[in-house]
Structure 1
Amino acid sequence: MNQGNTAFVLIMAALVLFMTPGLAFFYGGLVKAKSVISMMMMSFGAIGLVSVLWVLYGYAISFAVPGPGSHIVGIQGVFEIDTNLLGLGQAFEQSQASTIHAAYPTLAFVGFQATFAIITVALISGAIADRARFGTWMVFSGIWATVCYFPVADWVFNLGHGWINNLGVIDFAGGTAVHIDAGAAGLALALVLGKRVGFAKGAHKPHNPPFVLLGAGILWFGWFGFNAGSEGAADGIASLAWINTLAAPAAAVLGWLLVEKLKDGKATSIGAASGAVTGLVAITPACAALTPGWGVVLGFVSAVICCFAIDWKYRLGFDDSLDVVGVHLVGGIVGTLWLGFFANKTGLIYSGSFAQLGKQALAAAVVLVYSFVLAFIIGWILQKTMGFRITSEEEVAGIDAVVHGEEGYVLYDQEDRTPIGV
């Protein structure tokens, strides 16, 4: 066992887990003040629920190994409970006796992949900010993770067994499995829940830009674990992924701010944060397959495309509250397709062949359609049965108080109503 690689994987897993609280700050700052607790709770709820599901059966589905006794490939964790009554029974035994590639314990890999499942679910919540019931969100998260994320993770990350991986698609850290997957689900839920009260361009402004910048900074910090950690070893490929994770979002910040300045006359803090996240999304599938120069170009191009894409919701009439579609779905598609042109050795400019581009496009399309259809069906059923959206009156009153009985900012003593400091 390589203790250095073991430490590397465990530290990277911790960085990726830290991304979800970062996402909570990022999303929390973007919503109105009466929704900040609701928004952040949806991320923390995902941490609690998905972690438990991952241990019970999520890992078993996502990294199933077909063989004797496997009746439904990829679903063994649900239908075939092991002797330890947990989906990690085999992984536990492997960690005691052997290791993946003799580099680190299997459970280290299990923990690292768990953090991907968590943040993928949490990403969806931004599309339905200000208007979703927490209890229904939790039910949706559990069902969607089970029938959508876990199988897609098997397709993409299960080396030697997942069909997308075996097809030769390049997705190093989750452009399809994480960002296209979550972005498509976010679009579906935005359509199911409908528009917020007063939905119009400029009607809903971020209440706390410092929260947004803090969240973006935490996300960027954790993303080094997301991308470099996907190598599973502290080596040259991890180093390339690290540099691209620095360069692409940095270029995306500049690209987004330039577009803002040309379009609106001002470069904003929200634009800088959005640009950074866009560049991180786009480089995720490509971080180990691009030279840093092409990584810089990808970051800049993705920011320009996504900065315009976020306005599509006003033209097309769907309310994607925090631009999950414009940033994660579109950014994930841009990064995935970019590899068809510029991936080392196999991209069009190196090979003269469109084969890689075709593979990338197929994977992106299949994951998009699969996630959108399932999310729409699940969301529609929950809306008709449990009720997914709060009422217009509750939305105006403030979802934090209605759903959670709390306020994000208490500026006076609740008993004597005396302003604090007087």
Structure 2
Amino acid sequence: MFVRRSAAVVAAAFGIGALAAPLAQAADPSPSPSVTLPEGLYGTADPTYDGVWRQSLALLAQSSVGVTPADRGVDWLAGQQCANGGFAAYRPDPAADCGTKTPLDSNSTAAAVQALAALGGHDAATGRAVTWLKSVQNTDGGWGYTPGGPSDTNSTGLVVGALTATGEKPAEVRKDGKSPYDALLALSVPCDDTEGGGAFAYQPEQNGDLLANADATAAGALGALGTGLNAEAPDTTAPATAKCADAATPAQAAANATAWLTAALAGNDDHLTSTLPGAEDQPDYGNTADAVVALAALGEDRQARASMTWLERNARAWADASGPAAHAQLVLAAHAIGDGPEEFGGTGLIDRLNASGPAPAATDDLVEKRVVEKETTASAEDDDSPFGVWWYVGVFGVVGVGIGFLVSGRNRGDRP
């Protein structure tokens, strides 16, 4: 899944002690004049509030399509870890001790774990990070953005993905007898709610009500499935979406989320929208990409592909303006439905991502093998997907000559 956040949203969140999960946000791609960008970092925007997040998504997206990231990009991410295992959003001086005032958070930590686990060779680092995550688990079984903050669906779903990526069994990671699944079930909107039944809420409202939230629903669905940001579609598609039923199990909560997301997307030209006070509704490209990943992982292939087609037609400008986290989200969405993010709106997604940071080290045999397979079968297939052989050919060729993938603001009310 995916975190997006603006600097203003994050700063405000630290002030009040709560923040929705960082699934990729669009930040101004221009660097702050007062910030010196570190070598190895993806993107040119000020990394203060999303450096670890966007780096993690970029590396995870590259790994998902067979691109070996540059060592210095991986080293930068690994070097952001504190001695106790946690990660902050950004540490400008990794050589300095973190200290008690360094604002570690579950989202940056969980995203870094998922990326480093996917790359391999970082067991000691991911082990320390998981130990830290366990140490800040809440008594309801979930996690908030900051240690001690109330549990939210996005943060809990991200941590479940990190646990799974390192071989942990989320159901067995408990605090006071409660697992992450207990926390997620408590945040599933009851079916008798006429507007949001089956969705996930970000957090309960002050009066205890649970309000449907699109970003939280995608994150909660992945968490309930026990999978992470680089989820893949199962071998078989799901049956026609059933009606919402009492979410007594994580599997049922995930099925309910599928039904809600499918209806929300199908009823709005296959995409989600964001609403801000006093402004007209706007397309929510990042959350739509998150929804594609969740639906694909849940086996809802038809709607996932329909929404991916909408993104292919409409999201290029958003991704280019938003930077590597946005390109990474789109690569992960394409990966989730089993397609290659080749030519996306006239430009290769992975090429755009690679160009935003240090040039990748290589592509692996899987990419080369898929290039050959696509070339030999393309003429015999009627592929109506927005992705195809030319992306694989392009990526393999581009990387061969040495040219190197939500942060969209998430807040409680319009997430992410």
Please, what TM-score do these two structures have when normalized by structure 1?
0.27
Larger radius of gyration: 1
Q: Higher helix fraction: Structure 1 or Structure 2?
A: 1
